[in-house]
């Protein structure tokens, strides 16, 4: 296993680093970019990366990818997350884009891929439903064929940032009599279609990040079907595989850990037993993070030799999200009583938030990071995958 970067890779890392320093928009440096920015502001970096040809690291060159090696993609991921940049919206670039160029028709590729790259179309993911999350094959949204259209009726939920979406890719049931996974199709739905209604769900931290999406007699042209009718489960699984490989987030955790250390130095003292306990817990996380980075580097090294780690990637998702959550927990602990205030309660009102700036978002982050072990396939489900597919239990 080769962990040291070659000269060419080190030069690439330096190029990425200076590009970020010189080009990341200042307007995007806000406490919670996912929800604090308007739609237009959150697309600024996406468009800069698009003009540079770096917006879709995973995509083959023929569809607009940069043609990077696996190591270059890893370096880019590390550098952008360490610098705290807001990644391009994953629903187009990481999720539906690869489905379209792998399984779509030529007309679909021509119509959708350029607009995903340029950021003209904002996509949402319509997989989950009130009765179908971990058990996704239980989904009930129906699409009945009527001439040149499907008529779609159902209810999607937890749909991230659907309030901004131009398009949504949905799993729908096209054969109600087939066994669970066999009767599902993959449809692309224009959010402006009559019958699509988006209602906000406000999360624990007071933010509007997710939504319910209701579909009532929505007419979808048959040319918006991906691949074959009733074979949607195959495309859905392909998409989930891409989603999970990018979930270790070690670059992002390293940045948050540095911040936590600075806060702990400012807020606690080594003379105080609780300060000493906190320092020990921080050291433990740092060790776990270094171990995760080594595991990740081992998998990257395997991948670049053409060996797919397969289901072992589930452990990156589990460890990566646990570490991120623990850093948020400790940051919240480090700020002590300042953690009682929630920024959302103060906004709009004339309420003064006590404490230094870094304390103002710690509670929100603590609450918001609960989601990490749920979405993208919950950590319990990932453990089941490891038990069955890796350990053979």
Residues belonging to the active site: 243
Does 211 contact ligand FAD by CB under 6 A? no
Cα 365 from Cα 333, distance rounded (Å): 12
DSSP-derived letter for residue 381 is: H
Q: Which two tokens stand for residue 65?
A: 């990818």
The nearer residue to ligand FAD, 134 or 274, going by C-beta atoms, is 134
The nearer residue to ligand FAD, 52 or 208, going by C-beta atoms, is 208
Q: Which of 232, 195, 233 is nearest to 214 (CA)?
A: 195
Does 46 contact ligand FAD by CB under 6 A? no
Ranges within 134-163 binding ligand FAD (CB under 6 A): 134, 158-160
Smallest gap from residue 383 Cβ to ligand FAD (A):
7
The nearer residue to ligand FAD, 60 or 131, going by C-beta atoms, is 131
Beta bridge partners of 155: 214
Does 235 contact ligand FAD by CB under 6 A? no
Q: Which two tokens stand for residue 183?
A: 């009767």
Cα 33 from Cα 29, distance rounded (Å): 7
Beta bridge partners of 46: none
Smallest gap from residue 341 Cβ to ligand FAD (A):
23
Smallest gap from residue 368 Cβ to ligand FAD (A):
8
Region label for 209, one of left (φ > 0), alpha (ψ between -120 and 50) or beta (otherwise): alpha
Percentage helix, strand, coil for the chain under 3-state DSSP, each rounded to 5: 55, 15, 30
The nearer residue to ligand FAD, 307 or 370, going by C-beta atoms, is 370
The nearer residue to ligand FAD, 153 or 373, going by C-beta atoms, is 373
Which position has the token pair 């199709």?
Answer: 185
Which residue, judged by CB position, is nearest to ligand FAD in the bound state? 133
The nearer residue to ligand FAD, 75 or 215, going by C-beta atoms, is 215
Cα 157 from Cα 143, distance rounded (Å): 17
Does 127 contact ligand FAD by CB under 6 A? yes
Q: In 10 A of CB 308, how many CB atoms?
A: 12
Does 371 contact ligand FAD by CB under 6 A? yes
Cα 132 from Cα 242, distance rounded (Å): 20
Does 210 contact ligand FAD by CB under 6 A? yes
With CB under 6 A as the contact rule, the residue among 72, 128, 268, 325 that binds ligand FAD is: 128
Which position has the token pair 């680093």?
Answer: 17
Stretch that binds ligand FAD, among 92-100, 253-261, 275-283, 371-379 (CB under 6 A): 371-379
Smallest gap from residue 136 Cβ to ligand FAD (A):
7
Stretch that binds ligand FAD, among 41-49, 104-112, 122-130, 322-330 (CB under 6 A): 122-130
Does 380 contact ligand FAD by CB under 6 A? yes
Smallest gap from residue 382 Cβ to ligand FAD (A):
9
Does 375 contact ligand FAD by CB under 6 A? yes
Q: Which of 273, 279, 376 is nearest to 321 (CA)?
A: 376
Residues contacting residue 125 through CB under 8 Å, at least 6 positions apart: 91, 95, 96, 159, 160, 168, 169
Exposed e or buried b for every residue in 332-361, given b needs 16+ CB within 10 A? bbbbeebbebbbbeeeeeeeeeebeebbbb
The nearer residue to ligand FAD, 297 or 381, going by C-beta atoms, is 381
Q: Report how many residues bind ligand FAD under the rule CB under 6 A.
A: 17
Does 384 contact ligand FAD by CB under 6 A? yes
Interaction site with ligand FAD (CB under 6 A):
125-128, 133-134, 158-160, 210, 371, 374-375, 378, 380-381, 384
């Amino acid at each position: 296993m080769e962990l040291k970067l070659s000269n060419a890779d080190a030069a690439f890392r330096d190029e990425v680093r200076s590009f970020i320093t010189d080009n990341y928009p200042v307007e995007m440096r806000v406490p919670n970019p996912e929800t604090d920015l308007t739609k237009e502001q959150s697309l600024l970096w996406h468009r800069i990366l698009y003009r540079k040809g770096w917006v879709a690291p995973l995509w083959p060159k023929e569809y607009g990818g940069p043609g990077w090696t696996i190591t270059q993609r890893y370096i880019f991921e590390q550098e952008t997350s360490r610098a705290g940049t807001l990644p391009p919206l994953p629903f187009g670039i990481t999720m539906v884009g690869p489905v379209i160029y792998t399984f779509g028709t030529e007309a679909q590729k021509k119509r959708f891929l350029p607009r995903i790259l340029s950021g003209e179309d904002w996509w949402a993911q319509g997989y989950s439903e009130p009765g179908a999350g971990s058990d996704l094959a239980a989904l009930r949204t129906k699409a009945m064929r009527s001439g040149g259209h499907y008529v779609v009726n159902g209810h999607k939920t937890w749909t991230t940032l659907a309030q901004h979406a131009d398009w949504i890719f949905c799993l729908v049931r096209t054969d109600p009599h087939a066994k669970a996974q066999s009767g599902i199709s993959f449809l692309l739905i224009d959010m402006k279609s009559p019958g699509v209604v988006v209602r906000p769900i406000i999360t624990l931290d007071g933010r509007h990040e997710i939504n319910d999406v209701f579909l009532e007699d929505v007419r979808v042209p048959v040319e918006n079907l991906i691949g074959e009718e009733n074979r949607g489960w195959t495309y859905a699984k392909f998409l989930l595989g891409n989603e999970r490989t990018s979930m270790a987030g070690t670059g992002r955790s390293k940045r948050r850990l540095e911040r936590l250390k600075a806060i702990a130095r400012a807020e606690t003292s080594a003379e105080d037993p609780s300060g000493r306990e906190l320092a020990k817990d921080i050291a433990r996380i740092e060790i776990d993070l270094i171990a995760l980075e080594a595991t990740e580097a081992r998998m990257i090294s395997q991948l670049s030799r053409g060996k797919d780690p397969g289901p072992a990637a589930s452990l990156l998702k589990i460890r990566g999200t646990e570490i991120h959550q623990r850093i948020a927990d400790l940051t919240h602990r480090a700020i002590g009583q300042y953690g009682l205030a929630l920024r959302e309660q103060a906004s709009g009102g004339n309420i003064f938030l006590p404490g230094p700036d870094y304390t103002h978002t710690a509670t929100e982050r603590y609450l918001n990071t609960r989601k990490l072990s749920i979405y993208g396939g919950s950590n319990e489900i990932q453990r089941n995958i490891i038990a069955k597919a890796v350990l053979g239990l």
